[in-house]
Amino acid sequence: MILREPKVSELRKLSGLCQRSKAHWNYPPDMMKAFRRELTIRKADLDEDAIMLAEDKRGIAGVVQLSKAGEDAVLEKLFVDPHRLGEGTGKLLYVWACRVARDNGARNLLIDSDPDASAFYEHMGAVRQGTAESASIPGRQLPHLVHPLG
Protein backbone atom coordinates (compact mmCIF):
# COMPACT_ATOMS: atom_id res chain seq x y z
CA MET A 1 0.00 0.00 0.00
CA ILE A 2 1.34 3.42 -0.93
CA LEU A 3 0.16 6.88 0.02
CA ARG A 4 0.12 9.60 -2.61
CA GLU A 5 -1.52 12.91 -3.34
CA PRO A 6 -4.55 12.67 -5.63
CA LYS A 7 -4.69 14.15 -9.10
CA VAL A 8 -7.45 16.58 -10.07
CA SER A 9 -8.68 13.97 -12.55
CA GLU A 10 -9.30 11.56 -9.62
CA LEU A 11 -11.55 13.83 -7.55
CA ARG A 12 -14.81 12.44 -8.92
CA LYS A 13 -13.63 8.89 -8.24
CA LEU A 14 -12.58 9.82 -4.70
CA SER A 15 -15.91 11.53 -4.04
CA GLY A 16 -17.63 8.34 -5.20
CA LEU A 17 -15.49 6.33 -2.78
CA CYS A 18 -16.57 8.65 0.06
CA GLN A 19 -20.22 8.15 -0.88
CA ARG A 20 -19.91 4.35 -1.08
CA SER A 21 -18.12 4.29 2.25
CA LYS A 22 -20.82 6.40 3.93
CA ALA A 23 -23.56 4.26 2.35
CA HIS A 24 -21.98 1.21 4.02
CA TRP A 25 -23.75 2.32 7.22
CA ASN A 26 -27.16 1.84 5.55
CA TYR A 27 -28.29 5.45 5.54
CA PRO A 28 -31.58 6.05 3.71
CA PRO A 29 -31.44 7.74 0.28
CA ASP A 30 -32.64 11.12 1.59
CA MET A 31 -29.79 11.26 4.12
CA MET A 32 -27.25 10.19 1.51
CA LYS A 33 -28.49 13.03 -0.70
CA ALA A 34 -28.04 15.46 2.22
CA PHE A 35 -24.49 14.17 2.76
CA ARG A 36 -23.46 14.63 -0.90
CA ARG A 37 -21.84 18.06 -0.43
CA GLU A 38 -19.70 17.00 2.53
CA LEU A 39 -18.67 13.81 0.73
CA THR A 40 -17.43 15.64 -2.36
CA ILE A 41 -13.75 16.50 -2.77
CA ARG A 42 -13.22 19.60 -4.90
CA LYS A 43 -10.19 21.15 -6.55
CA ALA A 44 -10.29 23.94 -3.94
CA ASP A 45 -9.85 21.24 -1.28
CA LEU A 46 -6.64 20.12 -3.00
CA ASP A 47 -5.40 23.70 -2.96
CA GLU A 48 -6.27 24.40 0.69
CA ASP A 49 -5.98 21.10 2.57
CA ALA A 50 -3.68 18.11 2.89
CA ILE A 51 -5.27 15.19 1.04
CA MET A 52 -3.78 11.75 0.63
CA LEU A 53 -5.05 8.55 -0.89
CA ALA A 54 -4.05 4.96 -0.19
CA GLU A 55 -3.53 2.77 -3.22
CA ASP A 56 -2.20 -0.66 -4.10
CA LYS A 57 -2.23 -2.83 -7.22
CA ARG A 58 -5.98 -3.40 -6.73
CA GLY A 59 -6.68 0.34 -6.88
CA ILE A 60 -7.59 3.17 -4.51
CA ALA A 61 -8.49 1.85 -1.06
CA GLY A 62 -9.14 5.06 0.87
CA VAL A 63 -8.74 8.81 1.19
CA VAL A 64 -8.09 11.29 4.00
CA GLN A 65 -8.45 15.09 4.11
CA LEU A 66 -6.90 17.29 6.78
CA SER A 67 -7.37 21.04 7.33
CA LYS A 68 -5.99 23.57 9.79
CA ALA A 69 -8.08 25.41 12.39
CA GLY A 70 -5.99 27.76 14.51
CA GLU A 71 -3.66 25.68 16.67
CA ASP A 72 -5.51 22.48 15.77
CA ALA A 73 -6.01 20.30 12.72
CA VAL A 74 -9.39 19.00 11.56
CA LEU A 75 -9.99 15.57 10.09
CA GLU A 76 -12.36 16.59 7.32
CA LYS A 77 -12.64 13.15 5.72
CA LEU A 78 -11.36 9.64 6.22
CA PHE A 79 -13.09 7.07 4.04
CA VAL A 80 -12.19 3.52 3.08
CA ASP A 81 -13.75 1.62 0.22
CA PRO A 82 -16.28 -0.75 1.83
CA HIS A 83 -14.72 -3.74 0.04
CA ARG A 84 -11.38 -2.88 1.66
CA LEU A 85 -12.51 -2.54 5.29
CA GLY A 86 -10.41 -4.52 7.74
CA GLU A 87 -7.21 -4.32 5.67
CA GLY A 88 -5.58 -1.57 7.75
CA THR A 89 -6.19 1.26 5.29
CA GLY A 90 -8.08 3.39 7.80
CA LYS A 91 -5.31 3.03 10.36
CA LEU A 92 -2.66 3.90 7.77
CA LEU A 93 -4.53 7.06 6.73
CA TYR A 94 -5.28 8.08 10.32
CA VAL A 95 -1.65 7.70 11.39
CA TRP A 96 -0.63 9.80 8.37
CA ALA A 97 -3.13 12.52 9.37
CA CYS A 98 -1.85 12.61 12.97
CA ARG A 99 1.78 12.79 11.82
CA VAL A 100 1.15 15.56 9.28
CA ALA A 101 -0.94 17.54 11.78
CA ARG A 102 1.75 17.24 14.46
CA ASP A 103 4.56 18.08 12.01
CA ASN A 104 2.64 21.23 11.05
CA GLY A 105 2.37 22.36 14.67
CA ALA A 106 -1.17 21.25 15.51
CA ARG A 107 -1.84 20.57 19.17
CA ASN A 108 -4.91 18.40 18.58
CA LEU A 109 -6.67 16.57 15.79
CA LEU A 110 -10.39 17.42 15.88
CA ILE A 111 -12.94 14.95 14.53
CA ASP A 112 -16.69 15.32 14.10
CA SER A 113 -17.34 11.66 13.50
CA ASP A 114 -20.05 9.61 11.93
CA PRO A 115 -21.63 7.82 14.90
CA ASP A 116 -20.71 4.44 13.40
CA ALA A 117 -17.04 5.43 12.99
CA SER A 118 -16.41 6.94 16.42
CA ALA A 119 -15.28 3.61 17.94
CA PHE A 120 -12.49 3.45 15.33
CA TYR A 121 -11.24 6.92 16.26
CA GLU A 122 -11.41 6.14 19.97
CA HIS A 123 -9.43 2.95 19.36
CA MET A 124 -6.82 5.08 17.59
CA GLY A 125 -6.48 7.39 20.62
CA ALA A 126 -9.11 10.09 20.14
CA VAL A 127 -11.24 11.02 23.15
CA ARG A 128 -14.90 11.94 22.91
CA GLN A 129 -15.58 15.50 24.04
CA GLY A 130 -19.25 16.19 23.53
CA THR A 131 -21.08 16.58 20.26
CA ALA A 132 -21.10 18.81 17.20
CA GLU A 133 -23.93 19.64 14.83
CA SER A 134 -23.82 17.95 11.44
CA ALA A 135 -22.85 20.21 8.55
CA SER A 136 -25.36 18.35 6.36
CA ILE A 137 -28.44 17.83 8.51
CA PRO A 138 -29.51 20.61 10.90
CA GLY A 139 -30.19 19.30 14.39
CA ARG A 140 -28.28 16.05 13.89
CA GLN A 141 -25.59 15.66 16.53
CA LEU A 142 -22.30 13.91 15.85
CA PRO A 143 -19.68 12.65 18.30
CA HIS A 144 -16.93 15.27 18.65
CA LEU A 145 -13.55 13.69 19.34
CA VAL A 146 -10.15 15.16 20.09
CA HIS A 147 -6.85 13.37 19.55
CA PRO A 148 -4.07 15.15 21.51
CA LEU A 149 -0.91 15.29 19.40
CA GLY A 150 1.60 16.33 22.08
Structure pTM?
0.94
Q: Give all domains of the chain, ordered by start, each with its CATH number.
A: 2-148 (3.40.630.30)
Please choose, from the candidates 79, 81, 74, the residue with its C-alpha nearest in 3D space to the C-alpha of residue 126: 74
User: What is the share, in percent, of the chain residues with pLDDT greater than 70?
Assistant: 100
DSSP secondary structure code for residue 141 in this structure: E
**What confidence tier does 150 reach under pLDDT thresholds 50, 70, 90?**
confident
Q: Please state, in angstroms and rounded to a whole number, the distance separating the CA atoms of residues 56 and 108.
A: 30
- Tens-place pLDDT, residues 93-138: 999 999 999 999 999 999 999 999 999 999 999 999 999 999 899 9
Q: Please state, in angstroms and rounded to a whole number, the distance separating the CA atoms of residues 91 and 120.
A: 9
